[in-house]
Amino acid sequence: MNAGPSWALVRKDIMEALRRGGLHIAVANAGRGTFSTILDHPLEEWLAILDLCLTGVFLTVQQSAKVMCDGGSIITISSLNGTQPAAGMGAYCTAKAGVIMLTQVAAMELGDRGIRVSVLCPQSVQTGMTTPGPSAARVDGVLQAPEVARMVLEAMEAERFLILSHPQVHDYMQRKASNAERWLTGMRRLRDRIYGGQG
C-alpha cells in the first residue's frame, strides 16, 4: 500500500465513486505472511506484511468511514493469529493483533454515527491461500467460505463486535486472559506436537 501521490489519486477516485452511490457496508480484508523467526526476519519483509495487513485495513476503514452512510457497517478481517501466536509468523500475528485493536478504536469513534464496526477472527477457512501440511490452525477443523459468510451476516444482524468462526477460539482467549504464563507453556507444547519441536 503506497501512501504517496499514486495512493492519493486512487483514494480520490474511490471516494468520488462512493459518494455517487453511497456506502452502507465495507469489508477490510488483507492478508499475506511468510514463515520466518524473529531472529531471521528481514526488515523489508516485516514492513511489507504490516503495510498490507494493518495499514491497508486502516486505510480501508478510514476512507470508507469518511463517505459511509450513518448506520452503516464495517467488518475488518483479523485472524485466529490476532489472538493466538504462531511461531515463525511474527509479522502476520503482529499485524492481525493490530487489526483487532484498530477495530476496537474504530467502534468507539464511529459508534456515535450509528456505524457498527465488527472484527472477524477466522481460524481455518478453505481459500486459495490454504496450504496442505500440518498446521495448528486446523486442529478445530476447516470451514468453507460460505459458512463463514453466513456467520458474519448473522453477527451483523445481532450487532456483535467479535465474530469467531470457531467457538473454541473464545476458550483460548479466556485461558490466555486467566493465566498468561500457563497459556504460553501450552502454546509451546502445541507447537511441538504439531511441528515436531521445530520453531
- Residue listed under C-alpha cell 531472529: 39
Q: How far is CA 5 from CA 2, 17, 54, 57, 170, in A?
A: 8, 19, 20, 19, 42
Which residues, including other chains, have CB under 8 Å from residue 186's CB and lie 6 or more apart? Answer: 175
Report the alpha-carbon distance of residue 189 to residue 135 in Å, rounded. Answer: 14
| Residue 164, phi-psi category: left (phi > 0), alpha (psi -120 to 50), beta (remainder) | beta
Q: Is-catalytic flag, 92?
A: yes
- The HSE-up count of residue 27 (CA atoms within 13 Å, CB side) is 9
- Mapping DSSP onto H, E and C, the string for 72-84 reads EEEEEECCHHHCC
Report the alpha-carbon distance of residue 15 to residue 63 in Å, rounded. Answer: 7
Spot the catalytic one: 92, 115, 116, 123.
92
Tell me the catalytic residues: 92
